[in-house]
Amino acid sequence: MDKKWWKEAVVYQIYPRSFMDSNGDGIGDLNGITSRLDYLKDLGVDVIWLSPVYQSPNDDNGYDISDYRAIMQEFGTMEDFDRMLSEMHKRGIRLVMDLVVNHTSDEHKWFVESRKSKDNPYRDYYIWRDAKEGKEPNNWGSCFSGSAWKYDPQTEMYYLHLFSTKQPDLNWENPAVRKEVFDMMNWWCEKGIDGFRMDVISMISKPEGLPDGKIPEGGLYGDSGCVNGPHVHEYLQEMNREVLSKYDLMTVGECAGVTIEEAEKYASADGKELSMVFQFELVDLASGTYGKWTDKRVPLKDFKRVMTAWQTELEGKAWNSLFLGNHDQPRCLSRFGDDSPEYRVVSAKMLATCLHMMQGTPYVYQGEELGMTNAYFHKLEDYKDIESIQYYTELTDAGLMEPDYMMKCLMLRSRDNARTPMQWDGSEKAGFTDGEPWIKINPNCKEINAASQLDDPDSIFHYYQKLIALRKEKDIIVYGEFEPLCREDNQIFAYMRKLDEERLLTVCNFSEQSAEFEVPVEFEGSRCLITNLDRKVFKGKIVLKPYEAFVLYK
Ligand code: GLC
Ligand code: CA
């Protein structure tokens, strides 16, 4: 068992635009974050992953970067950043920065140069191709709808953008690009940051010759095949030699399309590439013809199958990251739990128990620790997210989805569900801002907010605080081996953890019905470490209440 600080850590993700506004312009900022560090210290997290704060025209809320070494004006200055970092370190909290290097903004000086002429020194920093029979160079679709190619009249060629037209893909085959990226990363490391979360890093290496991809049934565009491309591991090993190995960092790769086998390469225990990856198998469950745009819920049996596979198959080979939500996903309580007034609190605690007792590094997305729910905006004009707006238009214009149904899908799956402002208190602006917030505040801030939960010892906040503290107390929660129990049960997710002579049993009822469970004899007389209800006796056959969860230890 190879001990590492980042295996023992709990990470909190901040989406800066929506976390805390310090100057009344309705946009969260760095000074806002600094002002709330004591709250995070109190929660007990050890690492903050900060979504991008670099200079950006905000076509995709900061994931389109025009200067990697400058802070976005709306968020503050480099001095504000330095102060924030030092205040984090004073509290023993480490900082992981978002690294967005699959693409830049089209306003980045490299692209501004690149598009000027075919012989510009920056031309080859991006991926340019001639038209094919008067059309796009191939059939690839962008992840944000539409073609992945944009025609640029200046040089009469197309450039590749796997995301928005304002996010041209960098050409990683060019050694000069890799050197620029590594220099920039070293620059941030020298500033004293503690790691990187690497945006869509599994897509940086494009398939040889950029061939047409398979068009899924009912779809409009071909799959780019850029996921886990031919040189991605080479590039990451080079990055590791040039940057990562020189510092004591935590790194996590956002790896859409990663399989367990691939994850063993990205995050292998020999440390040649990254510390861990975000897998998408779980959050992509129950996808429909148009990917995430469906109203299907994830059946528990699939949830269990995927979680169990990652837990058992990475054991001893690579490290897991544990997450149910982030800024690209709907609120996990709304998606996997039950956000109705009756079951909101108990099901939020149950989900947290299930995730935090597993092996891996848990991630808490801002507001999750309060049980924040989806926004359920039902008017298109309330949505700000480029992906939501573009897909709504593409799918309804093409007659592929009924507008009402597509709106329902947005309410369930739009990224904006996770991007409404943090609910600090029950006032009109939720304590987030004194001005007009950039996106609507969820009106349920009156019932769901930090101020009231800090005062309530039974709140979701205090439950998370306890789960995080338990992880610090018990090595078995971090390092113990995972063993699934009652695999065929359609209501209960139960598993055991084992470390030498110690044993930990986690039992979660995922349904709104009561459910039977037989406590294994070896847990008779064991101690209950945490539960979301008030059961006292854990022996023989018991009947769990809706969404009940508990953890036994011996
Ligand atoms: C990642 C980010 C997402 C962004 C996309 C393009 O998936 O998490 O927010 O839109 O990459 O950078
Ligand atoms: Ca502000």
Residue 386 alpha carbon to ligand 1 centre in Å: 11
Protein residue with its CA nearest to atom 2 in ligand 1 = 199
Position 126 scores a pLDDT of 99
**Measured distance CA(196)–CA(202) in Å, rounded:** 14
Answer whether residue 135 shows pLDDT above 70: yes
Residues 6+ apart with CB under 8 A from 210: 127, 129, 137, 138, 140, 160
Q: Is 199 in the pocket of ligand 1 (CB under 6 A)?
A: yes
- C-alpha to C-alpha distance for 212 and 147, rounded to whole angstroms: 12
CB 99 within 8 A of CB 53: no
Residues with Cβ within 8 Å of 438's Cβ and at least 6 positions away in sequence, in order, are 17, 18, 26, 27, 384
* 218: confidence class by pLDDT, cuts 50, 70, 90: confident
The residue length of the chain stands at: 554
pLDDT tens for 400-443 read: 999 999 999 999 999 999 999 999 999 999 999 999 999 999 99
Query: 186-216 pLDDT, tens per residue?
Result: 999 999 999 999 999 999 999 999 999 999 8
- pLDDT band, residue 217 (cuts 50/70/90): confident
- The residue-averaged pLDDT of 490-495 equals 98
Segment 211-226 shows an average pLDDT of 93
Distance from Cα 200 to the centre of ligand 1, integer Å? 7
Euclidean distance between CA atoms 378 and 403, whole angstroms: 11
33-76: pLDDT as tens digits: 999 999 999 999 999 999 999 999 999 999 999 999 999 999 99
Instruction: Evaluate whether 484 touches 308 at the Cβ level (below 8 Å).
Output: yes
Pocket flag, ligand 1, residue 148 (CB < 6 Å):
no
Q: How remote is the CA of residue 40 from the centroid of ligand 2, in Å?
A: 20
pLDDT tens column, 341-371: 999 999 999 999 999 999 999 999 999 999 9
Choose among 307, 142, 118: nearest CA to 220.
142
Distances (CA, A) of 132 to 149, 151, 153, 158: 12, 12, 15, 10
Q: 193, 183, 166: which is closest to 53 by C-alpha?
A: 193
CA of 398 to the centre of ligand 1 (A): 25
pLDDT tens figures, 18-44? 999 999 999 999 999 999 999 999 999
Candidate from 17, 98, 163 with most ligand 1 atoms within 8 A of CB, to mutate: 163
In ligand 1, the atom with minimum distance to the C-alpha of 144 is 10
Report residue 475 as tokens: 């090595």
Torsions phi, psi of 411, nearest 5? -60, -30
From residue 58, how far is each of 113, 186, 188, 411, 515 by CA, in Å?
Answer: 20, 25, 21, 23, 48
Helix, strand, or coil here: 244? helix
Structure tokens at 411: 């309410």
Given a contact cutoff of 8 angstroms between Cβ atoms, the answer to whether 80 and 236 are in contact is no
Q: Tokens standing for 379?
A: 């008017």
**323 touches ligand 1 (CB under 6 Å):** no
Token pair for residue 217? Answer: 């049934």
20 CA from centroid of ligand 2 (Å): 8
Angstrom distance (rounded) from CA 168 to CA 148: 9
Residue in 543, 508, 456 with CA at minimum distance from that of residue 350:
508
Block residue for tokens 């047409």: 212
**Cα dist. 123→118, 166, 170, 183 in Å?**
6, 16, 10, 20
Q: Which residue has the tokens 């007792």?
A: 357
Residue 90, number of CB atoms within 10 A of its CB: 10
**401-405 long-range contacts, CB within 8 A, separation 24+:** 401/290, 401/293, 405/295
pLDDT over 80 at 1, yes or no: no
Q: What SS3 state is found at 105?
A: coil
Q: What atom in ligand 1 is closest to the CA of residue 386?
A: 10
Alpha helices by DSSP H, listed for 357-474, are 386-397, 403-413, 450-454, 460-473
413 SS3 class: helix
Strand partners, 278: 254
**What is the arithmetic mean of pLDDT over 242-267?**
97
Question: Which ligand sits nearest to residue 433's alpha carbon?
Answer: 2
- Distance CA(211)–CA(150), nearest Å, equals 17
Task: Report pLDDT digits (tens) over 294-309.
Answer: 999 999 999 999 999 9
d(CA 548, CA 533): 6
CA 186, 187, 188, 194 torsion-angle sign: positive
Ligand 1 pocket check for 255: Cβ under 6 Å: no
pTM here is 0.98
HSE-CB at 426 with a 13 A cutoff on CA atoms is 7
pLDDT of residue 219: 86
Residue 128 has pLDDT above 70, yes or no: yes
User: Active-site residue numbers?
Assistant: 199, 254
Residue 524 token pair = 């008779």
For residue 413, the one-letter residue type is R
Backbone angles phi, psi at 245, to 5 degrees: -65, -15
235 beta partners: none
Enter the tokens of residue 114: 């690149």
Determine contact, residues 56/64, Cβ cutoff 8 Å: yes
d(CA 160, CA 291): 22
**Helix, strand, or coil (residue 177):** helix
Ligand 1 pocket check for 328: Cβ under 6 Å: yes
Q: Which atom of ligand 1 is the closest one to the Cα of 327?
A: 9
Which stretches of 473-522 are assigned E, i.e. beta strand? 481-485, 492-499, 502-509, 515-518
Please state at what angle helix 175-190 crosses helix 232-242, rounded to 10 degrees. 40
Nearest CA to ligand 1 atom 7: 200
196 Cβ neighbours under 8 A, 6+ residues apart: 96, 97, 98, 99, 185, 249, 251, 252
Question: From CA 66, how far away is CA 481, in angstroms rounded?
Answer: 44
What is the rounded distance in angstroms from the CA atom of residue 477 to the CA atom of residue 57?
Answer: 42
State the residue for tokens 């040649």.
Answer: 272
